Amino acid sequence: MSQVSISHASTRVLHNKLTVETQSTEPPIYTLAEGKPVQDPTSSVVLRGPKVRGGALALLEDTQLIETLAHFPRERIPERVVHAKAAGAWGEFECTHDITDWCSAALFSKVGKKTEVLARLSTVAGEKGSSDTLRDIRGFALKFKTEEGNWDFVGNDLPVFFIRDPAKFPSLNRSHKRHPQTAVADSSMFWDFHNHNQEGAHCLMQLFGPRGVPASLRNVNGFGNHTFKFGKPEDGTFKYVKIHFKPDDGIKNLSEEDAVRLAGEEPDYHVKDMYNAIERGAYPSWTMMLQVMDPKEAETYKWNIFDITKIWPHKDYPLMPVGKLTLNKNPENHFHDIEQAAFSPSTLIPGIAPSADPMLHARMFSYPDAARYRVGPNYQQLPCNKALNTYSPYQRDGPMRMDGNYGSDPDYGNHIPSPVRSSFRAIRSGPADVAHDEWVGQVQAFSSEVTDEDWEQPRTLWKLFKTNRDDDKFIHNLASHVNKALPEVQKDTIRMWAEVDEEISKRLGKALSENQSKVDHQKAPPSQTALAKHKK
């Protein structure tokens, strides 16, 4: 993998020049939030005492002071539980290839068609103040604003994920974040989770391989991870699809040493790099490509095509280019455009539908639910999230309603007969959805088991690492992280990697034995009270 030299000059944020008022030579008058003009924004209404020099009593009648103080602690909305730190930008998608014979989604309706896009690229585990260059998955989220609604692409920079059972999702993320006792990231917790959920070995190899820390967000892949259905609702046909965004400038990565150095010197390195590139006109771009599978092939394919821990090999399903994504405009205000933005794989348009992937279904609930909590129940009305055309009078009221609340239109739904009309308000029906699957099955509790099939793709990736001479980097990156775990956790981790290849296990064990352990969280000896309770 290519390495890049780091220039401090490239990390300086280019500040926008002060905008010159062209409409009027008069500057705006400062007012309170409700519009009252104010003479001095720094003053407070006080009762000054004559005996003590400088002493005064602030008065509750001072609306400016109360407004200023009361708004300040409410300026922050809850940060995302994951994907808190991000760069973002506006751009456009251009359809470059005709797929209208098998997909009717609006953004692919004709070659040359352009669609506005909002992008948010993020780290996953770290909080908003964390370093950009930590070894972590990068989120790759896009909001396409089409005439038939918003389509959200919510993916990652790695092609597979750590788990495939949705009930494990909170535990996975907790294990990658902070220990509840020490409040610091903890390698023992991280590896203990993965030692007991070994279906994630393929994703761990991707994370600790040479692509674990990108040189720039402009040089990462964007994978949809899940399998989706692209189709033509009008005739009930569809294809299974895997979605890829490939950076036109290629994949570029940081060495472990450069990543660690930048974490201290320039913790916002990736955010600045993206902003600066767009400001100077070096617009980052990606080619959108699809892998396409006929539904009949899915019935007999060698792997479960809905398993998010597995890829579809390119030799079986080659990449098909369909369009180009270009980011060409920085946000005018990061909070307004990026922090309030909400993305969810449930945000779909006619022609694109979910597949039978339980992890996808869980995310389709969890993501908008998080947005309702974090931003509010009417988050879809904010400019960054607002669709081009909406009429949804059955979802109304609630705090911060901003669109007129549909006035006097009825707030209940009727079946739409033909000819189209309702009792008080004529409405038209939209197009049909992509064909639904037909199911005959049994309702049951289910958690997947790890089988030898789960080790096939990791073994192939290990052979690729050795062919590309990336095996030393992988072992080094792996050992550096496992080295901070408790000794008993390290032993389980060594045994896990033997399932991929005995060589990984032996080389990891040797690397750990040669380096003094730097455990993140030592086990505290049991207290006398705890011992007494145990004896009872």
- Rounded-to-integer distance, Cα 440 and Cα 242, Å: 26
Which of 3.30.70, 1.20.120, 1.20.1370, 2.60.40 would CATH assign to domain 175-198+451-526?
1.20.1370
Tokens of 140: 């790759």
- Rounded-to-integer distance, Cα 366 and Cα 138, Å: 19
Which residue in the list 150, 156, 330, 378 is annotated as catalytic? 156
- The sign of the dihedral angle between the CA atoms of 396, 401, 403, 408 is positive
Q: pLDDT value at position 178?
A: 94
pTM: 0.90
- Rounded-to-integer distance, Cα 526 and Cα 109, Å: 66
Q: pLDDT value at position 343?
A: 97
Per residue of the chain (536 residues), give pLDDT as tens: 444 444 444 444 444 433 444 455 788 998 988 888 989 988 888 888 766 677 888 898 998 999 988 988 999 999 999 999 999 999 999 999 999 999 999 999 999 999 999 999 999 999 999 999 999 999 999 999 999 999 999 999 999 999 999 999 999 999 999 999 999 999 999 999 999 999 999 999 999 999 999 999 999 999 999 999 999 988 889 999 999 999 999 999 999 999 999 999 999 999 999 999 999 999 999 999 999 999 999 999 999 999 999 999 999 999 999 999 999 999 999 999 999 999 999 999 999 999 999 999 999 999 999 999 999 999 999 999 999 999 888 888 989 888 898 888 887 776 666 555 545 677 777 888 888 888 888 888 989 999 999 999 999 999 999 999 999 999 999 999 999 999 999 999 999 999 999 999 999 999 999 887 777 777 766 555 554 555 55
Q: pLDDT value at position 396?
A: 87
Which residue matches tokens 């189209």? 420
Asked if residues 62 and 44 have their Cβ atoms less than 8 Å apart, the reply is yes
Domain ranges for the chain, please list them.
86-164+214-381, 175-198+451-526
Which residue in the list 8, 15, 16, 83 is annotated as catalytic? 83
**333 among known catalytic residues:** no
- The sign of the dihedral angle between the CA atoms of 186, 189, 194, 200 is negative
Q: What is the largest CA-CA distance in the chain?
A: 91
- Rounded-to-integer distance, Cα 81 and Cα 169, Å: 12
The highest-level CATH class for domain 86-164+214-381 is mainly beta
Q: How many CB atoms lie within 10 A of CB 244?
A: 20
Alpha-carbon distances, residue 219 vs 210, 250, 284, 495 (angstroms) = 13, 6, 8, 34
Q: pLDDT value at position 418?
A: 54
Q: Strand runs (DSSP E) across 228-381, as ranges?
A: 228-232, 237-247, 285-293, 320-329, 352-354
How, if at all, do strands 237-247 and 138-146 pair?
unpaired
Q: pLDDT value at position 55?
A: 81
**156 among known catalytic residues:** yes
Asked if residues 164 and 308 have their Cβ atoms less than 8 Å apart, the reply is yes
Q: pLDDT value at position 338?
A: 97
Asked if residues 91 and 83 have their Cβ atoms less than 8 Å apart, the reply is no
Residues forming the annotated binding site for heme?
367
Helix 502-514 × helix 471-482 angle, to 10°: 50
- Rounded-to-integer distance, Cα 272 and Cα 14, Å: 9
Q: What is the dihedral of CA 511, 512, 516, 519, to 10 degrees?
A: 140
Asked if residues 497 and 479 have their Cβ atoms less than 8 Å apart, the reply is no
Q: How many CA atoms does the CB half-sphere of 536 hold within 13 Å?
A: 6
Residues forming the annotated binding site?
367
Alpha-carbon distances, residue 187 vs 259, 281, 519 (angstroms) = 18, 41, 8
Q: pLDDT value at position 246?
A: 98
Tokens of 285: 């771009």
Q: pLDDT value at position 51?
A: 66
Q: Which is nearest to 215 in space by CA: 177, 247, 244, 193?
A: 247
What single letter denotes the amino acid at residue 122?
A: S
- Rounded-to-integer distance, Cα 402 and Cα 245, Å: 35
pLDDT digits (tens, 9 = 90+) for 124-182: 999 999 999 999 999 999 999 999 999 999 999 999 999 999 999 999 999 999 999 99
